[in-house]
Amino acid sequence: MIKIKIKKISSENDRLENTYVLLSIIFIFIISFFTIFITTESTSELINKNHISAKSLSGKNNITYNYLKLITDDIDLIDMDKLSIKYLKDELFYEPFAEGSIDNHKWIELSNNKYILFVGSKDSSTFILKINKLNKNSEILFSSTYKESNLEIDKLLRSKEFKVIDAYTGKEFRKGN
* Phi, then psi, of 51 in degrees rounded to 5: -125, 155
Task: Show the domain range for 94.
Answer: 45-172
Residue 116: its H or E element? strand 115-122
Inter-residue contact 117 to 128 (CB < 8 Å): yes
Please give the tally of structural domains in the chain. Answer: 1
Structural domain includes residue 19: no
Q: Which of helix, strand or coil describes residue 108?
A: strand
Find the farthest-apart pair of alpha carbons in the chain and give their distance in angstroms, rounded.
Answer: 100
Structural domain includes residue 10: no
Structural domain includes residue 14: no
Structural domain includes residue 109: yes
Structural domain includes residue 76: yes
Inter-residue contact 146 to 161 (CB < 8 Å): yes
Predicted confidence pLDDT, tens digits, the chain (177 residues): 788 888 877 777 788 888 999 999 999 999 999 988 887 655 555 556 788 878 888 888 888 888 888 888 888 888 888 888 888 888 877 777 776 666 677 888 888 888 989 888 887 788 899 999 888 899 999 988 877 666 777 788 778 888 888 876 655 544 544
pLDDT in tens, 85-105: 888 888 877 777 776 666 677
Structural domain includes residue 39: no
Structural domain includes residue 60: yes
CA dihedral sign, ordered 83, 87, 88, 93: negative
What pTM was computed for the model? 0.66
Structural domain includes residue 16: no
CA distances from 35 to 4, 24, 27, 151 (A): 47, 16, 12, 50
Instruction: Determine how β-strand 163-166 pairs with β-strand 51-53.
Output: parallel
